[in-house]
Amino acid sequence: MVGVSETLERARKEFGERFGGSRPQISVFAPGRVNLIGEHTDYNGGFVLPMALPLTTVIVGSRRDDDKILIITTAHGADEPHTVEFKAPREEKPLVPGVPKWANYVKGVIQLYRAGPVPGFNAVIASSVPLGGGLSSSASLEVATYTFLQQLCADDGDAVQKALTCQKSEHTFAGVPCGIMDQFISVMGREGHALLIDCRSLEVTPLPLADPGMAILITNSNVCHELTGSEYPERRRQCEEAAKVLGKDTLRDVSFEDLEAMKERLSDTCYKRARHVITEIARTTYAAEALQRGDYKEFGRLMVKSHNSLRDDYEVSCPELDELVAIAIEVPGVYGSRMTGGGFGGCTVTLLETSAAERAKQHIQSRYRGSPTFYLTKASAGAGVITVQ
Ligand code: GAF
């Protein structure tokens, strides 16, 4: 797996070539994430259980003497312009979303950054988080941008505020009404731990994930999803409608018994969406308990239930993801597997015995209809500064 050091190397090399051999003053990183369980629960005030990945977005750069911001990416599609230039935002001239699309993730954070007027700077972005793979490439870019600005403006600000600002930027500049999970874990991730996040109170419980006998395998279906499509906002709207009809602020406040008792008030679709969310919130809390007592079998069983609910009730899976899960759970030593992230492509996450990892990869490789990419991964730290000698 490409670690921070290789991504950093790529960014520094590009910086040197583009800016007359100079060395960047600032180097920061922010991780992507994989969610172990608790899908489409964050914007319903529920629980999620993600971990930060060693796949990261790196930004290196230096302050300029004028108000120009010049950013180069080595990470985004070949059909997109790789360099953008604009003036640092001022009250009378705010930044607005536009093209290329990747720059909106950066511009949004710069526009919403509150800890001081942003000065001009040159920067290079590099990333090892696969784009559109459901591992939070966009949140990691937002959080890396914020972390870079903190260095530029000497601000050691509030971590929750940082995640919330990045989420707001995704809403307003990328047009995706996402929950808080991706930005939160990218900021708060902890090495060797998954985080149980209560998305209503934002309380975090770190759960150790460092058992050498247990491994986490991510499989990229290499089918790309587009969260800016209508499906994600549509699901969110259906959940809000269901909560309203059931007389509550969010589906977190609705019990399974209440849902069943008031079933007739909901359309079939809203009922199914609500059933996924309510059962998924319960599964996530049970899974966290199972993890705490080292009961991986139970955790894996809940993962498969989660996948089935996402497939049948929430309808955000796709044939490739269903196939990857079905193939993975055939392998002896696999505890469970499920789609992870927003859905409609992207990745699955599989919990398994470490000794079964090679066997699982080979089995999936030989049976899956497409060409998968594997990441045998570890829970990693949240965003930070890279100290370069
Ligand atoms: C995407 C969103 F950005 C998250 O907030 C979350 O809703 C997830 O889909 C589904 O669990 O990654």
Side-chain-side CA neighbours of 385 within 13 Å: the count stands at 15
- Please report the pLDDT score of residue 225 as a whole number: 57
Q: Mutation test of ligand 1: which of 37, 138, 182 has the most ligand atoms closer than 8 Å to its C-beta?
A: 182
DSSP string, 46-93: -EE-EEEEEEEEEEEEEE-SSSEEEEEESSS-TTS-SEEEEEPPBTTB
Query: What is the C-alpha separation between 122 and 146, in angstroms, rounded?
Result: 15
List 158, 182, 249, 268, catalytic entry:
182
Ligand 1 mean position to 48 CA, how many Å?
Answer: 10
DSSP label at 380? B
Task: Give the closest residue (by CA) to ligand 1 atom 5.
Answer: 179
Q: What is the mean pLDDT of each run of 10 residues along the chain (389 residues)?
A: 82 94 96 98 98 98 97 79 92 94 96 92 96 93 98 93 98 96 98 98 96 97 74 96 98 98 97 98 98 98 98 96 98 98 95 98 97 97 89
- Please report the pLDDT score of residue 212 as a whole number: 96
Ligand 1 mean position to 147 CA, how many Å?
Answer: 21
**Residue 68 CA, distance from chain mean position:** 30
Closest ligand 1 atom to Cα of 39: 11
- Please report the pLDDT score of residue 177 as a whole number: 96
- Of 92, 97, 123, nearest in space to 109 by CA: 97
pTM for the model: 0.96
Ligand 1 mean position to 50 CA, how many Å?
Answer: 11
- Of 286, 302, 288, nearest in space to 193 by CA: 288
**Percent helix / strand / coil, the chain, rounded to 5:** 40, 20, 35
Closest ligand 1 atom to Cα of 181: 5
Instruction: Let me know if 66 is a catalytic residue.
Output: no
Query: What is the C-alpha separation between 159 and 105, in angstroms, rounded?
Result: 18
- Please report the pLDDT score of residue 115 as a whole number: 82
Ligand 1 mean position to 358 CA, how many Å?
Answer: 29
At 217-274, the pLDDT tens digits run 999 999 975 555 789 999 999 999 999 999 999 999 999 999 999 999 999 999 999 9
Count CB-CB contacts under 10 A for residue 99: 10
Which residues lie with the beta carbon below 6 Å from any ligand 1 atom? 39-40, 42-43, 178-179, 181-182, 341-342
Ligand 1 mean position to 38 CA, how many Å?
Answer: 10
Taking each helix axis as running N to C, give the angle between helix 159-173 and helix 101-112, from 0 to 180 degrees, rounded to the nearest 10: 130
- Please report the pLDDT score of residue 389 as a whole number: 59
Q: Mutation test of ligand 1: which of 37, 40, 347 has the most ligand atoms closer than 8 Å to its C-beta?
A: 40
At 80-112, the pLDDT tens digits run 669 999 999 998 999 999 999 999 999 999 999
- Please report the pLDDT score of residue 156 as a whole number: 87
Closest ligand 1 atom to Cα of 232: 9
Query: What is the C-alpha separation between 207 and 194, in angstroms, rounded?
Result: 5
- Please report the pLDDT score of residue 229 as a whole number: 77
The complex's ipTM?
0.99
